[in-house]
């Protein structure tokens, strides 16, 4: 695995096409996904390999960059898979989510929803439509919705921005 190349994820911004109050790097997003996965594995007694899959799910972006969801929706899935396969080859690794696609996809969307909700709680109204659409995508995974709403309902401004980060 090319760890030095993967380190570049800390510099790749998500939502670089939108106005955000606090931009999130791909590395931050991946770490948050891993934390959600860890909690998930404890609650549902799932295989902890899911944590590694969640942590590494966007590692190909260290080679191809962040491709926004809306852009991806216009590109044939086979073409995205080719790009990612080439990236994994360059990084000297296997696809990290193989076998865990559904749960990692769910965790990815859930972390996105948390980030968007945090942005809204910080006062950003620009991402409300994306937040609503993303929350709707979670409905594809009814088995995990109780966990989802519990997590999102407990997200309050004091947890989003500790006192030392407030303006």
| Domains in the chain, CATH or no CATH each | 3-165 (1.10.3210.10)
Q: Which of the residues in the chain have pLDDT under 70?
A: 155-167
Nearest to 4 by CA among 95, 96, 108, 90: 90
H-helix segments, the chain: 3-6, 26-44, 49-56, 61-64, 69-72, 77-91, 101-121, 128-138, 145-153, 157-160
Judged by DSSP in three states, 5 sits in helix
Contact 34, 49 (CB under 8 A): no
- Beta bridge mates, 13: 25
């Amino acid at each position: 695995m090319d760890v030095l190349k993967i380190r570049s994820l800390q510099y790749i911004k998500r939502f670089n096409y939108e106005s955000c109050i606090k931009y999130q790097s791909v590395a931050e997003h991946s770490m948050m996904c891993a934390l959600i996965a860890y909690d998930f594995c404890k609650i549902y007694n799932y295989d902890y390999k899911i944590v590694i899959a969640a942590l590494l799910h966007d590692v190909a972006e260290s080679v191809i960059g962040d491709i926004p969801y809306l852009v991806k929706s216009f590109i044939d899935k086979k073409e995205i898979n080719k790009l990612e396969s080439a990236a994994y080859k360059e990084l000297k690794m296997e696809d990290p989510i193989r076998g865990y696609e559904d749960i990692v996809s769910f965790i990815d969307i859930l972390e996105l929803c948390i980030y968007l909700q945090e942005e809204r709680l910080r006062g950003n109204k620009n991402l409300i439509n994306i937040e609503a659409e993303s929350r709707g995508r979670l409905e594809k995974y009814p088995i995990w919705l109780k966990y989802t709403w519990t997590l999102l309902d407990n997200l309050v401004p004091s947890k989003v921005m500790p006192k030392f980060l407030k303006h």
